[in-house]
Structure 1
Amino acid sequence: MAPPPNSESDAGLVARERQGDNAQPLTISEISALLKRTVEDRFGFVRLRGELSGVKRAASGHFYCALKDDGAVIDGVMWKGNAARLNFRAEDGLEVIATGKLTTYPGRSKYQIVIDSMELAGEGALLALLEKTRARLAAEGLFDAGRKRPLPFLPRVIGVVTSPTGAVIRDILHRLADRFPSHVLVWPVLVQGQGAAEQVAAAVRGFSALEAGGPIPRPDVVIVARGGGSIEDLWSFNEEVVVRAIAECSIPVISAVGHETDTTLADFAADRRAPTPTAAAEMAVPVRADLAFTLTDLAARQRRAVYRPVELGRERLEARARLLPRPEHLLAPQAQRLDDLSDRLRRALGDRSAKGRERLAGVGARLSPSLLTRSASEAQRRLDRARLSAALIERPLRHGSDRLAALTRVMSQLHPEKPLERGYAIIRNAEGRALTTRAEAASAALLTVQFRDGTLAAHPAGAAPAPAPAPAAPPASPPRKRPVAPSPQQDDLFS
């Protein structure tokens, strides 16, 4: 290859072929292709450690970013297939290790790395990503205590999201059988590795979408469980898709991921966190033996509460019955008096019968048939002479009835208690005498006010109240006068 021109005389206006010069001019595409082959042949496989910057996912699914350190920066691209297999959410500021090959991009005269895989650069970077995701989701309110729902006291159906082949599901089923056998629905999922987060989120949303009364019973509580492991093993439960599925679930969720010291974002989003899967089963159901004992104790207390008043009443009744006299003691004086009166009655009847027989004998001695016949004949003659007329009897009776009715009306109007029906009252002193003046009422210590329907004790104003005496009976109504029979207008036939 000829050396470049080194004098001004060698430069010309039009390019000319020089003697001995075998270097043909290259096009831009040709030199770009040469550079691309050189870079790819020299750096066919590299691992770069740097901080992500300018992270962007295109609509096509490809992943674009830049890797930088304190002194340099290199562009990176990750094609759709590899980008879908990322185990974490790539964000600006994360320190990662990218594996791939270097190449050039002729369209911009840049070199870049085509990334085949990407990992976080140690647990520090993983924890930084975890804290960043936690802060972002907490800012959205997904971890607020006000969103937590209480667990049902006694769930009929329990849904479990876990691996069907691990020891976790056996521990949960064994603990549920010991405490309170329940209907368990297991949604089998992967609990780590590629696609585990999507399966867990789909299982939680599937349980939440079940309808009550459908062919598959809807769980009353859901347990998301996994055994212990490293932070990488548990990373699927830190994925945003899992956290959002748990937070949006309409069924109370218990998170039982890892052991006591393991904490994932699923624990923050769940309604309750259990330190172990076995503890989650204990949270889900009570102990049936304890419930049976409680019911037995409550039933015994209920019986005691019901029978106690009866027993107390029986004891009081027996105590009071012992103070009462015996019935035979109460009836003994009356029985003795009955015997005495019966004996006296028997003797009185005998004496009266004897006296009656004596009187009858005396009267019978004075009676004779001729005397009775003469008296009967005289009475018959007097009866025959009397000319009886109905008018003679009816007229005095009618006149007397009219007069009696008139007197009755007058008496009812003049009765002293008649005004009481019109709202008046009668004021009496303690002796039952009616008072007619204010002075008499003021001097009395106690007044009795008689109304239409009863009496009321009262004290005059300013007088000290005295013990109320027994209310005096109201004076009896004056006896009605028997109507005077009219003077006969003719002689009495029997005078």
Structure 2
Amino acid sequence: MSDLIDDPQEGGNAPEFSVSDLSGAIKRMIEGEFSHVRVRGELGRISRPRSGHIYLDLKDDSAVLAGIIWKGVAARLAVQPEEGMEVVATGRLTTFPGQSRYQIIIEDMKPAGMGALMAMLEKRKAALAAEGLFAPERKQALPYLPEIIGVVTSPSGAVIRDILHRLRDRFPRKVLIWPVAVQGDKCAPEVARAIRGFNAMTPGGALPRPDLIIVARGGGSVEDLWGFNEEIVVRAAAESAIPLISAVGHETDTTLIDFASDKRAPTPTAAAELAVPVRMDLLAWVEGQGARLSHALSQGVRLRGQRLRDLARALPRAEVLLDGPRQRLDALGERLPAALIRSVQVRRVHLSETAGALRPALLRRAVEGDRRRLQATAARLNVHALNRDIAQKRRDLDQVSARLSDVAGRQVRGWQDRLAALERLRETLGYKATLSRGYAVVRGDGAVMTTRAAAAGAAALQIEFADGVLDVSGSSAAAPKPKPKTPPAGQGSLF
């Protein structure tokens, strides 16, 4: 290395190195001197290519250090790097000969103090709230008495025992436990996978889908509870179609899953109390409601009985109601025999009077008289019917004649209108109408002149206007209008 650094004397025999040799020497020197370092700085540019590695910059007020977190290390980080976060990175320095730069290979990274961690938490909370993941209208109502409760927690801690004990005391229910790590690198992905796993279950299947989910963990520091602040957990809680209760930490501990859940419980025991009512209280309430119902029914029956008795006292007795009808029945019964005898006598007299008028001779004379009247009436009806028929035919004939006259009149008027229209068309298309618009007809030697040369060669010219004929040779314009000769074929129009 001294040969590479010392300046050779002018004209000396200094060795020559290739670029690769020089870059390798620098790489070995930096990696040997800075094999393990801890660097504090602010995260600048962060790049996450498809390979899974993370490329970032560590900077302060006057310098920038490039850094790399390999894919396997990035998956184990408790806190994922975000731009602007102040961190303490642990790793080793090396060089990248391909671009002539030095960089740090980061093996661990932690926020530089509580202030940086809380600042990152507030920034993440604001970003998720802006997406509407904490909106009140997204939250679901908890079921009053769920059949199955899913619990996401550690199976070996005191939290699950507290929840089961509280459920057993209040209202025993079926519980499905999804074991997860509640702190460390595996916490966030396992909790998110558990929430989505409960939602993916089929209702009524071999392993039934829970009606309520409880995500629970005991108290701890901010770093211990950090897995419940990760974005993947918050999004899984917000997307859950099953109502979810978050019970992470104690009353003073707050994580981002508390804002995304449908209900926050201050402790895991309180979450069990929110999940189910007290069975004995419910039974006592049901018994109280039953007693009230029985009392209300008996009271209603008693009041209606008293009302019926009050109304019955105002009604008359049954025997009093029947006294009047019974007396009228006795009076009518006594009058009935005499009334029947009187009715038979009256009908016998009427029958005798009617039978006296029914002698055969009288009947034959009556029938004969009726027959003659019927024949006379039939004869009169025939004559009258014939007269009515003739009168009807005459009226029909008059109507047909009137319709024919009307049709003929309309047809004649139509022909007259058509002749008038043709006459107007003839006058419009004739050359007389053209003369009234300022034109004139020039004739020479009895023929119509259509060219200047023909007019110049004629012996005499006559010009016909709308109001008369003018002789060009000096004859009076008022001279009698000569009868025009028949124009030759093909000259029937001025145009």
TM-score w.r.t. the length of structure 1 is 0.63
1:442 match: none
Q: Which residue of 2 aligns with 1:423?
A: none
Provide the residue aligned with 1:468 in structure 2.
none
Distance 2:61 2:357 in 1: 146
User: Does residue 387 of structure 2 align to residue 396 of structure 1?
Assistant: no
Give 1:100's match in structure 2, choosing from 87, 91, 94: 91
CA distance in 1, matches of 2:214, 2:358: 109
Matched with 2:238 is: 247
Q: Does 1:88 align with 2:48?
A: no
1:266 is paired with a residue of what secondary structure? helix
Specify the alignment match of 1:277 in structure 2.
268
2:278 aligns with 287
Aligned to 1:367: none
Bigger shift: 151-160 or 100-109?
Answer: 100-109
For residues 244-272 of structure 1, give each alpha carbon's deviation from its aligned partner in whole angstroms, at most 9, with x where no partner exists: 11111110000000000000001001000
Write the letter of the residue equivalent to 2:356.
P
Q: 1:74 to 1:3 in 2, by over 3 A?
A: closer
Aligned to 2:381: none
Q: Letter of the aligned partner of 1:396 in structure 2?
A: G
Q: Distance in 2 between matches of 1:299 and 1:270?
A: 37
The answer to whether the aligner puts 1:226 opposite 2:223 as a matched pair is: no
Q: Secondary structure at the match of 1:30?
A: helix
TM-superposed deviation, 1:106: 1.2
Structure 2 partner of 1:65: 56
Q: 1:103 to 1:327 in 2, by over 3 A?
A: closer
Mapped to 1, the partners of 2:212 and 2:7 lie a distance apart of: 83
- Structure 1 residues 395 and 316: alpha-carbon distance in aligned structure 2, compared to 1, 3 A threshold: closer
Candidates 195, 205, 223, aligned match of 1:214 = 205
- Offset of residue 111 of structure 1: 1.1
What do the CA deviations read for 1:263-298 (whole angstroms, capped 9, x no partner)? 000100100000000000000111111111111121
Instruction: Provide the residue aligned with 1:109 in structure 2.
Output: 100
1:27 alignment counterpart = 18
Aligned residue among 129, 149, 152 for 1:161: 152
Distance (Å, rounded) in 1 between the aligned partners of 2:217 and 2:243: 18
Distance of 1:324 and 1:42 partners within structure 2? 120
The residue aligned with 2:251 is 260
Unaligned runs of 5+ in 2: 325-351, 360-495
Q: CA deviation at 1:27?
A: 1.6
CA distance in 2, matches of 1:110, 1:137: 37
The one-letter code matched in structure 2 to 1:203 is A
1:236 CA displacement: 0.7
Say if 2:310 is the partner of 1:310.
Answer: no
1:43 aligned residue (29, 34, 42): 34
1:242 is paired with a residue whose SS is helix
Q: 5+ unaligned residues in a row in structure 1: which ranges?
A: 11-17, 335-391, 400-495
Mapping of residues 440-455 of structure 1, within 5 Å: none
Among 122, 130, 146, the alignment partner of 1:131 is 122
For 2:82 and 2:272, the matched residues in 1 are separated by 37
Question: Aligned partners of 2:314 and 2:187: how far apart in 1?
Answer: 86
For normalisation by structure 2, the TM-score amounts to: 0.63
Aligned match for 2:196, one of 194, 199, 205? 205
Q: Is the 8 A contact 2:149 2:175 kept in 1?
A: yes
Q: Partner of 2:38: helix, strand, or coil?
A: strand
**1:93 and 1:245 mapped to 2: Cα distance?**
26
How far, CA to CA, are the matches of 1:188 and 1:398 in structure 2?
Answer: 121
Moved more, 306-315 or 130-139: 306-315
Alpha-carbon offset, residue 320 of structure 1:
6.0
Distance of 2:190 and 2:311 partners within structure 1: 79
Residue type of the partner of 1:247? A
Q: 1:58 to 1:320 in 2, by over 3 A?
A: closer
Deviations 1:402-427 (A, max 9, x none): xxxxxxxxxxxxxxxxxxxxxxxxxx
Cα 1:316–1:93 change in 2 (3 A) is same
1:118 to 86, 109, 123: 109
- Partner residue in 2 for 1:238: 229
Match of 1:74 among 41, 65, 76: 65
Q: CA deviation at 1:325?
A: 9.2
Q: Does 1:176 align with 2:167?
A: yes
Matched with 1:14 is none
Does structure 1 conserve the Cα–Cα contact (< 8 Å) formed by 2:74 and 2:80? no
Deviates more, 1:25-34 or 1:227-236: 25-34
Equivalence for 1:149: 140
Residues paired across the two proteins, number: 332
For 1:151 and 1:36, the matched residues in 2 are separated by: 62
The 2-side partners of 1:270 and 1:38 are apart by 54
What displacement does 1:125 show? Answer: 1.1
| C-alpha distance in 2 between matches for 1:3 and 1:162 | 67
Contact map agreement 2:8 2:14 (CA 8 A) in 1: no
Q: 1:323 Cα shift?
A: 7.7
1-structure distance, mates of 2:298, 2:241: 47
Could you say which residue in structure 2 is the equivalent of 1:298?
289
CA distance in 2, matches of 1:127, 1:3: 53
Local SS of the residue matching 1:84? helix
Q: Provide the rounded CA distance (Å) in 1 between the counterparts of 2:87 and 2:18.
A: 38
2:155 aligns to what SS in structure 1? coil
Of Structure 1 and Structure 2, the greater helix share is in 2
Give the secondary structure class of the aligned counterpart of 1:314.
helix
CA distance in structure 2 between the aligned counterparts of 1:3 and 1:78, rounded to whole angstroms: 38
SS at match of 2:76: coil
Question: 2:305, 2:7 → 1: CA distance?
Answer: 133
Q: CA deviation at 1:179?
A: 0.8
